[in-house]
Amino acid sequence: MVNFWQNIPDPAFSLAPMEDVTDTVFREIVLGMAAPEKLQIVFTEFTSVEGMNHPKGRERVSERLIVNDSENELLKAKGVKLVAQIWGRNPEVYHTIAKHISENYDFDGLDINMGCPVKKVVKTGACSALIGEPGLAKEIILATKEGTNLPVSVKTRTGIKQHQTEEWISHLQETDPAAIILHGRTQRMQSEGEACWDEIAKAVNVKNQVKPHIPLHGNGDIFSYADGLKKAAETGADGIMVGRGIFQNPWFFDPENTEITQEERIRKLLEHTRLFEQTWGGIKNFNILKRFYKIYLNSFPGAAKLRADLMEVKNYEEVYRYFNL
């Protein structure tokens, strides 16, 4: 097994897995804008192992694992690793799907979602609910590792109702995951309040005492590259995962590029639209694109009107026509 987590720069930067956001299209856009050596890892959207294991569900669920040839070329050219994130509750199904993904796809790693706090997911006993079942969580990690020759990492949170960071990280370490990515909030906090980087520092301290070879990456409220570097230095984290920060600035991984023109923003919006249409036209809802229009159209005079106008368009042709294309 080639464990890339051991061979990437410190601190490494990654783009977090996000539902209806980090598909192959958006990953390609972000990769294309990233400066050399500023982005090391990208993740797929969350993929249900139960869905992948269902004969009728696999085709639809596996859309989350699609990698366009154009994205793959960028990954190779820039030396960026691509990790498939999976979620569920059944260790045997994790084993089966880990094997399936390893044999049928070209990912650099697998990541187990033990962090999503969304209530409908938590009710199934998956994702952040597993923090409350450390025995089952460990079974899942070990079963996944047995099913693949890829490195298996875990993305998680500091606790359920309150921080239980040291105890939880100690449990995870027992399975020797390839890496741990820790969001500095509890399940109850959802996205509210501030991410607690003191808890991430505690986690770093715990793993350094027992399993110093396991990389631990921090996640939560990183809105600039400089802030990520600062948090890594303050906590000792081996890497920084960026989530919602990319919504404030899609050029996050090109920190020297601070003056992005209106023309460049519109050019990227149209590039994203065309690539989305080529990849998902007739499969995914066009309106998904509108969340991205909001992040491109800001920081210039007239941006608010453009955003408002584009919230009213109904299809790709109306977007192109709006920009006289």
Contact criterion met (CB below 8 Å) for 44 and 81: no
DSSP state of 34: P
Q: What dihedral do alpha carbons 51, 54, 55, 60 form, nearest 10°?
A: -10
Residues in the chain, total: 325
Is 163 one of the annotated binding-site residues?
Answer: no
Active-site hit among 33, 112, 116, 129: 116
User: What is each CA distance from 218 to 20, 201, 304, in whole angstroms?
Assistant: 22, 9, 33
Q: Which two tokens stand for residue 285?
A: 């809802």
196 flagged as catalytic: no
The answer to the question of whether 244 is labelled as a binding residue is yes
Separation of alpha carbons 26 and 269, rounded Å: 11
Which residues fall within 8 angstroms of residue 65, CB to CB, at 6 or more apart? 44, 47, 84, 101, 105, 107
37 φ/ψ sector (left φ>0, alpha ψ -120 to 50, else beta): left
Which two tokens mark 261? 């023109």
157 is in an annotated binding site: no
CA–CA separation, 159 and 165 (whole Å): 6
* Residues 115 and 121: beta-carbon distance below 8 Å: no
Question: Which amino acid does the sequence have at 293?
Answer: Y
Residue ranges for the binding site? 85, 155, 183, 243-244
* Residues forming the active site: 116
Residue ranges for the binding site for FMN? 85, 155, 183, 243-244
